[in-house]
Amino acid sequence: MFQPNFRVTGSIANALVAIEADRQVVTLLPLTAPMLDSLRRTARLLSTHLSTQIEGNQLSAVQVAAVVRGEGNFPGMERDEAEIRNHFAAAEYVEVLGQQGLGFTESELRNIHGLVMTGRATPTPYRGGQNVIREASSGRVVYMPPEAKDVPGLVAELVEWAASAFTTTAWPPPILAALVHYQFATIHPYFDGNGRTARLLTNLVLHRSGYGLNGIYSLEEYYSANLDGYYRGLAVGPSHNYYLGRVEGEVTAFIEYFCVGMANALHKVRRRAETAPRSPVMGTADALRTLTPQQRRSFGLFLRARHVTAADVAAYFDLSPRRGSALCARWVAQGFLIVHDPSTKGRSYRLADSWEALVVAQAEAQREGDGG
């Protein structure tokens, strides 16, 4: 079983305090649905651009945005374009998955890698041979991961450890996320896509532990700006061979790097959200705070359509049809939704009058802010 070896340094402790303070502030900010959608999309684009850039993708930020909009057509860059589309889809998948459960499952891990590599949420097989990590400038081997025959067992142990750690340890979620990232990179279960998958898996852990903040911040911005520290933190142990020290190596350096980076990312998004232009409806802050994070997030759905079905709600939150129906029924009972069409086959819902008025006002304020 994975047994992490680390110390909580002063830098880690200070970063955790800062993360918690900014998380609480951002969680309570009365962000309108358009503002939330804008922050989320900006963060997802940034994460996609920088996570793929770390692995060698040559597309610029402007080109990445064009590819995501479906406008990418850059001759000779077809592989880079596919990487962008795949990563963006994987990031969306992680955000949806993050709304439920704790930890993660092995099938979710493999589906994330499937999206990264093929654009499809289908499980990918682990590597069938040995891979090595080389220094780009010299070509020398800097890390030799475990043998292929040991990979399935090591991944299963990581998943089991994560599930247990979420429920039986007092470690803060940022530390758990850092350890999951570290150990996945250590196992290096695939020939390609390990870094991108590790970073997405980290985001899933944070979402499921209440630290995802609706996907409105990007850790990759810090990684990209501090790549040397990223790789130094991962280079643990007296030998480049997994079996000669990596397993027992102390991972304090990577946890420190991760927590400081997360504190940096959350503080940036807090400043961005606090200084965003306020619309006339921002005086509804107290009312917004009475809603659950899931209810506030549902405004994004009602910005697209005034009336929705339980199937629409289920698809939006990646729930089963039964859970989607149960959620709608609960929200009706709470006065958040109203049954618009009560028929059995065509049953649909709309927001209660006060919330519908708020969403309409938000949309109008956003259009005015965008210049009409």
Least confident of 157-171, 242-256, 280-294, 313-327: 280-294
Residue-wise pLDDT for 35-44, tens only, equals: 777 788 888 9
Residue 282 has a pLDDT of 41
Range of the domain at 311: 280-369
Residues 105 and 161 in one domain: yes
Q: Is residue 90 part of a domain?
A: yes
User: What's the whole-number mean pLDDT along residues 83-107?
Assistant: 88
Do 132 and 267 fall within a single domain?
Answer: yes
How many structural domains does the chain have?
2
Same domain, 271 and 312: no
Pair (76, 156) in one structural domain: yes
Q: Is residue 2 part of a domain?
A: no
Q: Which of 253, 275, 297 marks a domain boundary?
A: 275
Based on the domain organization, do 255 and 309 belong to the same domain? no
Of 240, 275, 310, the position where a domain reaches its end is 275
- Phi/psi region, residue 129 (left: phi>0; alpha: psi -120 to 50; beta: rest), is beta
Q: What sign results for the dihedral spanned by CA atoms 64, 66, 71, 74?
A: negative
* pLDDT tens digits, 150-159: 999 999 999 9
Domain assignment present for residue 158? The answer is: yes
Give the model's pLDDT for residue 301. 86
Query: What does the pLDDT average to over 334-360?
Result: 86
Over the stretch 288-297, which tens digit does the pLDDT of each residue have? 777 888 888 8
In terms of domains, do 241 and 361 share one? Answer: no
Same domain, 270 and 286: no
CATH number at residue 318: 1.10.10.10
Last residue of a domain, one of 275, 309, 325: 275
Task: Please indicate, yes or no, if residue 3 is contained in any of the structural domains.
Answer: no
Sign of CA dihedral 176, 177, 178, 183: positive
Q: Is residue 255 part of a domain?
A: yes
Q: Are residues 63 and 42 in the same domain?
A: yes
State the CATH number of the domain containing residue 199. 1.10.3290.10
Within a domain: 5: no
* 111: in domain: yes
Residues of the chain with pLDDT > 90, as a percent, come to 52
| 280, pLDDT greater than 50 | no
Q: Same structural domain for residues 225 and 303?
A: no
Q: Are residues 112 and 154 in the same domain?
A: yes
Residues 285, 258 share a domain:
no
Mean pLDDT, the chain, integer? 87
Q: Which residues contact 8 (CB under 8 A, 6 or more apart)?
A: 175
Do 161 and 293 fall within a single domain? no
Q: Which has the minimum average pLDDT: 163-177, 181-195, 280-294? A: 280-294
Residue at 141 is within a domain: yes
Q: Which of 17-26, 81-90, 228-237, 251-260 has the lowest mean pLDDT?
A: 228-237
